[in-house]
Amino acid sequence: MLISMKNSDKPQIIDKNEGLFFKVRDGYQLFIYNYRPVENYSSTIFIILGITGINHNSEKDIIDLLSYNENRVVAIHPRGTGYSDGMRGDISNFNDFINDFSEIILIDNDYGSKHHKVFLFGHSMSTSVLLAVADNLPNIAGSFLVNPLY
């Protein structure tokens, strides 16, 4: 008996108001979840999600902890994961994956702002993605690497 694996289907958005889509340079629509607990937040923390398909709904506990009711937290669903376009689990070009994060963060109003510092957060496999993204972004105030691969 031959057993085969199938990539999971793209999940459906539960709440249409929970985020927005951003079109990156090659036309893919990537989903961005933006949690802003207070009007005058201190910093913006971008959660760098990996290729495992976890999305912001799976990360609610860490979003709450990072927010601490004083920080804006942004989670970008990478191509091929979460609500974003792309074949589930297929990252054929790692540079596209890195450039997507960089492109979105670079156009964010807080990047380079005098009023808000920007931090990156990654866990496990996504810490390697975080380091590659950070290399593209000279105005990052810092990074949180939890259980890095190396």
Q: Compute φ and ψ for 27, nearest 5 degrees.
A: 95, -10
Mean pLDDT calculated for residue range 114-137: 94
Residue 80 structure tokens: 């091929």
Q: Give the Cα separation of 47 and 39 in Å (integer).
A: 20
Domains for the chain: give ranges and CATH numbers: 20-146 (3.40.50.1820)
Identify which has the larger pLDDT, 103 or 56: 103
Q: Cα–Cα distance between 73 and 96 in angstroms, integer?
A: 23
How confident is the model over 9-67, as pLDDT tens digits? 777 777 777 899 999 999 999 999 999 999 899 999 999 987 765 667 777 889 999 99
- Paired tokens of 28: 């893919």
> Residue 40: which of 62, 14, 70 has the closest Cα?
70
pLDDT of residue 54: 63
pLDDT digits (tens, 9 = 90+) for 68-83: 999 999 999 999 888 8
Per-residue tokens: 52: 């495992």
